Amino acid sequence: MAGAVPKPVRLVVDTTVRHGPLAGGQLAAAWAESHFALEGLDDNSRQALAKATAPILTTVHRFTGSHDMRLLLPAGEIGDGEVTLRWQEMALDTSVSGNRVQGTWRWPELALLGLPSRDDEDAQEAELRRDSLQPLSKHQQHAASSQLPCFLSAQASMLCTTCSIFMNREPLTNTLPTLGKTAHTAC
């Protein structure tokens, strides 16, 4: 039996536009504020997004033909209980005038919490390597160390637990042909 077709998720944009010489409380031809929402989310998605607020885009259209825009993402977080993405308020302010675009972006903090740290991963990998090594019997250890000079016998036991990875570090370079010349490839 085939599963039910999932309901599509829709992005809904609700824009309020004000016209006139004092649009949005400032001297402008028009002022627009857009609010965004997602419709059709399942319960798990709604619960993960419960602490997040949708961004707001405010656009001011000046009489000179220039435009000022502000994208504001309020502080929030998205998470499933194990991994959480948390952020402080983000603001992107942009001005467009003729062929010139100018802007500033402010986002003081964006944090991804709940992922294992690299130290935890390194400790787990070291433990796996240590568990996978087969210890030498006392007879094998003594036989190996008796064949070596005494100053190397301590190092012989370390050699048994050392892993090496050979890396081919030769450069690979290509030169593209130019008109009237032949291509040269060095490997």
Q: State pLDDT tens for residues 109-146.
A: 989 888 776 666 666 666 666 655 555 555 554 444 44
Residue 111 lies in a domain: no
Number of domain units in the chain: 1
Residue 133 lies in a domain: no
The sheet carrying 76-79 orders its strands as 76-79, 84-87, 110-113
Predicted TM-score (pTM) of this structure: 0.58
pLDDT at 61 over 50: yes
Residue 135 lies in a domain: no
Residue 53 lies in a domain: yes
- Identify the band that residue 5 occupies on the pLDDT scale cut at 50, 70 and 90: confident
Q: Which domain holds residue 67?
A: 10-76+91-106
Q: Are 97 and 66 contacting, i.e. CB atoms less than 8 angstroms apart?
A: yes
Residue 116 lies in a domain: no
Number of CB atoms found within 10 A of residue 41's CB: 15
* Mean pLDDT for all residues in the chain: 75
Contacts of 39 (CB under 8 A, 6+ apart): 9, 10, 12
pLDDT at 182 over 50: no
Residue 143 lies in a domain: no
Burial class (CB in 10 A: 0-12, 13-18, 19+), 1: exposed
Residue 128 lies in a domain: no
Query: Residue 126: its pLDDT value, please?
Result: 65
Query: What tokens appear for 7 in the block?
Result: 């309901």
